Structure 1
Amino acid sequence: MERFVDVTPGIRLWAEQIGPEIAADAVAPDPVLLIMGANASGLAWPDALVSRLAEQHPVIRYDHRDTGRSAWAFDRHPYSVADLAEDAIAVLDAFDVERAHVVGMSMGGILVQLLLLDHPDRLLTATLLCTSALDAGLAGAAPDLPGPDPALLRLWQEMDDPRDAEREIDWRVEHWRLLNGTGTPFDPAEFRALEERIIEHTGWYDSPSAHAHADPGGLDRGAELATVDVPTLVIEAPEDPVNPPPHSGHLARAIGGARMVRVPGMGHALNATVVEPVAAAILSHAARGGEHVVSSADERV
């Protein structure tokens, strides 16, 4: 089921719900809300992962502002990164969801941390993957934690460069190759098909880059994470070239009572080889209510 969500005048978000119907019945399965990373459509959550989660839960994914079929309006309506967290609440409201298991990847993980601080009553559990703590800044800006791979930094310099359709897809596939890292196989055909589908879904091939220009103010709230009491799982991607170890460990320690699991070989991409372990970790965490275990040592999936 697809719908559009009006969040502010001039800003409309595309969203869809897959799997069991959302119901207020006490025995109905609780929904899962998926929040993707910067400049990424909700379709970047692989269908195989969504389908696996939807076997047990209603799953909601959506396009951030300036991605996919949501409003591309940054030039007319500039916003902060923190505003994108409030968009997630608007999506839950549109689907009449009081509380959900919320999963955030990359920048989506930053947004989930803001939700943990500002809207804990809307989260049943939180799962964070391929992300950094609020006190580390976007893309690991903290001086005592490693930053992104220099090859990625060089490629990001080209984000706003004009490209025709074929060159744009080539650029995006190369971006995924670097994000994937070397710990798991990279299949360029898999990611080319993904980006072709996202472009078809969007209706044009312009490179989404607004989030790189959004105001990052209001994210320096790492000290508040110790107060979090929502059951939280951190999934570590040991080959992540954006937020490499020890980012996940730092995040897990910063959040009160968080657990951490590691998906061996995983980078900053949800390729076919990591879908099942990531889905299993999310489902297990949701099922157990994310029991609080302070974890300096990590588990493997």
Structure 2
Amino acid sequence: MEHFIDAAPGIRLWAEERGAADAPPLLLIMGAQASGMGWPDELVDALAVHHRVIRYDHRDTGRSSRPFERQPYAIADLARDAVAVLDGLGIERAHIAGLSLGGLLAQLLIADHPGRLLSATLMGTCALSTAPYTRPDGTLVPATELPGIAPEVLEMWARPVEDRGLEAELDRRVEHWRVLSGGHIPFDAEYFRALERRIVEHTGHHTAGTAHGRADDSGLLRTEELAANRVPTLVVSAPAEPVFPPPHPQHLAQAVRGARVVEIPGMGHALPREVLAPLAAAIIGHTTGRAAA
């Protein structure tokens, strides 16, 4: 079932839900410049066995409003949009799962709107905290000294994006996913090309967006709030992660009070077919209170 939700003046968000209407709601929060259709159908359907699953398009993605050029906004506004989606669907409390920027937004929800959450799952992100990381041997590492983004990713992000037509844009997006996948799992270019083609069809055009990269990212630290967290939180550790590699997940789990870590073998900063079943099992194990498979 599809919806359009008025999140703020001039901001209308596209959302879709799958699963039983009376099942516990699970809101999926995608990454920067990524449509909600970036959550693969296979994963959404697996989660919908147990949940009323909601995925949505951030503003300036997919079928949602594109206000940035006339109405610039902050990253924190994207977190408020997630709450607006819950409000628009009449959901008082929900499980949430966020990937990349979505994991950052999920931390803002943990910190600022804990009463709206049943649980949180964080993937492919770093802690919104200045707390140091404690190594297994007890030594401390300042948060600012944790490993940075892989050079190959930074080089890819630095390239100018030019409109050379649909197929060339699909080529660029597939190469982007190859770099983000991390190389532990054989890369299936056709799988990601089909995923991106569905996103283009959903969006109605292939123009690449840049709004989220230009949005105000100030005021995001939540060190004290995360340290006082009471929302059941799962952190997914991806061993092939090239953006926030280990020990970022372990640091995140230390920064968010009570969080635990589960590793998905071979996972990077993408959602290839091979990680979908174990990821769904981990999320469902967390949301239902059962140990992850």
What TM-score results when the alignment is normalised by the length of structure 2?
0.93
* Partner residue in 2 for 1:263: 264
The structure 2 residue matched to 1:44, chosen from 38, 50, 63, is 38
Gaps of 5+ in 1: 22-27, 137-141, 291-299
* Partner residue in 1 for 2:104: 110
Alpha-carbon displacement from aligned partner over 1:112-168 (angstroms, at most 9, x marks no partner)? 1000111101000000011111137xxxxx531111111111111125433322211
Residue 211 of structure 2 aligns with an amino acid whose one-letter code is A
> What is the DSSP-based 3-state SS (H/G/I as helix, E as strand, rest coil) of the residue aligned with 2:145?
coil
The structure 2 residue matched to 1:83, chosen from 65, 77, 83, is 77
> What is the DSSP-based 3-state SS (H/G/I as helix, E as strand, rest coil) of the residue aligned with 1:132?
coil
* Partner residue in 2 for 1:217: 218
Worse overlay, 154-163 or 196-205:
154-163
* Partner residue in 2 for 1:294: none
* Partner residue in 2 for 1:8: 8
Structural mapping, 1:211-250, within 5 Å: 211-250=212-251
Residue 213 of structure 2 aligns with an amino acid whose one-letter code is A
Residue 151 of structure 2 aligns with an amino acid whose one-letter code is P
* Partner residue in 1 for 2:25: 31
1:100 and 2:94 aligned = yes
Q: 1:289 to 1:273 in 2, by over 3 A?
A: closer
1:58 and 2:52 aligned = yes
In structure 2, distance between residues paired with 1:122 and 1:53: 20
* Partner residue in 2 for 1:187: 188
1:20, CA displacement in angstroms?
0.7
Identity of aligned residues (%): 57
Residue 257 of structure 1 aligns with an amino acid whose one-letter code is G
CA contact (8 A) 1:2 1:16 kept: yes
In structure 2, distance between residues paired with 1:223 and 1:174: 39
* Partner residue in 2 for 1:275: 276
Alpha-carbon displacement from aligned partner over 1:178-206 (angstroms, at most 9, x marks no partner)? 01111112100000000001001000100
CA contact (8 A) 1:231 1:289 kept: no
> What is the DSSP-based 3-state SS (H/G/I as helix, E as strand, rest coil) of the residue aligned with 1:90?
helix
Residue 72 of structure 2 aligns with an amino acid whose one-letter code is P
> What is the DSSP-based 3-state SS (H/G/I as helix, E as strand, rest coil) of the residue aligned with 1:84?
helix
CA contact (8 A) 1:235 1:261 kept: yes
Q: 1:220 to 1:51 in 2, by over 3 A?
A: same
How many residues end up aligned between the 2 structures? 282
> What is the DSSP-based 3-state SS (H/G/I as helix, E as strand, rest coil) of the residue aligned with 1:273?
helix
* Partner residue in 1 for 2:286: 285
Residue 135 of structure 1 aligns with an amino acid whose one-letter code is S
The structure 2 residue matched to 1:124, chosen from 115, 118, 121, is 118
CA contact (8 A) 2:240 2:266 kept: yes
CA contact (8 A) 2:129 2:226 kept: no
CA contact (8 A) 2:27 2:97 kept: yes
1:289, CA displacement in angstroms?
7.8
* Partner residue in 2 for 1:167: 168
In structure 2, distance between residues paired with 1:195 and 1:49: 16
Alpha-carbon displacement from aligned partner over 1:83-122 (angstroms, at most 9, x marks no partner)? 1000000000111111111001111000010001111010
CA contact (8 A) 1:124 1:289 kept: no
* Partner residue in 2 for 1:25: none
CA contact (8 A) 2:129 2:255 kept: no
